[in-house]
Structure 1
Amino acid sequence: AGEPEQQFDIKTIVAAIHSVDAIKRIASGTVDNGKEPPMLIHGCTGIRRTGVFALAYVFSKQILGAREINLIGVIEQIRMVRYGVLRQRKMFYFLLEIIIALIAETGLVKPGSQEHMQAVQLIKKMHTVGGRKKKSAAGGGKSTGDKSEKSTDKSTAGDEEADGEDGDDDGEDTTGPKKSPKTAGSREKGRKAGSRNK
């Protein structure tokens, strides 16, 4: 099963974060030791939308508490326990959009201000540019026969693999160890040699 046709939007994620906070406040009143109970977030593999939600939740706590975030540090910590989180650029851009929405919501940046709009537009531009490269690499772009275009297509052909996507949208986890071409070639030669011996 692949990803659903319609992705969650930023408002849905931000609302979910607030709902979880409300539930945790109610539940923490019933805990005797005074510590905040841990939160379990469940997803199929826990690396796509679930991973983005978990990261967004952590960043919301940092924004509300310290009023700053440790983007790289938190992502590294989460990836230590859930390796494939943010393996796709689109998930990283989605996370950035959520963070910007949370920052605007807390008043650190005035919603609709020039700074806020510039940040939103920058993320959307990065996401759009990344999407065009993939489309071009997949053969969706027009071919003019120009050498420079061919070299661009060649250089972006690995983008899907770098994003962890296998291009068939089947939800297959492609975060496992990659087989080196040498190993794959050696196996193929072995199969051919084995079939000749029969």
Structure 2
Amino acid sequence: MKITPADVRLAADLAIATLDRARDADWSVKAGPLDWDCWETAEHLIDDLFSYAVQLASERTDIDVPFRYTQETPGSPHNAVRAEREAGVPGLLLALEASAGLLTAVTTVKPPEARAHHTFGVADPEGFAAMGVVETLVHTDDLASGLGIGDSWQPPADLCARVLHRLFPDVPADTPPWPTLLWATGRGELPGHERRGKWRWYSEPR
């Protein structure tokens, strides 16, 4: 049930292949249930993967690495890194590929006993890899929904099951993994369970 650095690469490759189908779509529309538009959401994902990589690289367990996080417009994500808009969607997806590669590399070289700070619990390399996978899977769902290609996004059940096992010990174990991951992150319905308003994962090693 382990999450590996290769899973970060896999999630990103699947996401990029899906999103590339919508390169000519309007990326200024809202990303699924989010208040951000699709471009902002993709940048948020890029920033998440970058931030996880540098945080684990630092091995600081008490604070976040103090990069300067700013907003471009009121209500938009607070990011340390952004994609050049003049590069268009191909450039945006290249930035996503690069951030995923950075997180893949750092989680590969760090030993299992390495630890670094996260709001939801001091995590090991596997935890940071799992967080990167969850961010990639669910934000790609947000993006695919907003861009009108939601039916084409269906991540592997095995990958979803393993990130649920690593980060969400409080969710049902007898329900389909992908719908359960969407429900666990406040994005979907799960029969027999109340929809989640507030949610979190548990990134401490177990």
- Both proteins in one fold, TM over 0.5: no
TM-score (norm 2): 0.28
Name the larger-Rg structure. Answer: 1
TM-score (norm 1): 0.29
**Per residue, is there more helix in 1 or in 2?**
1
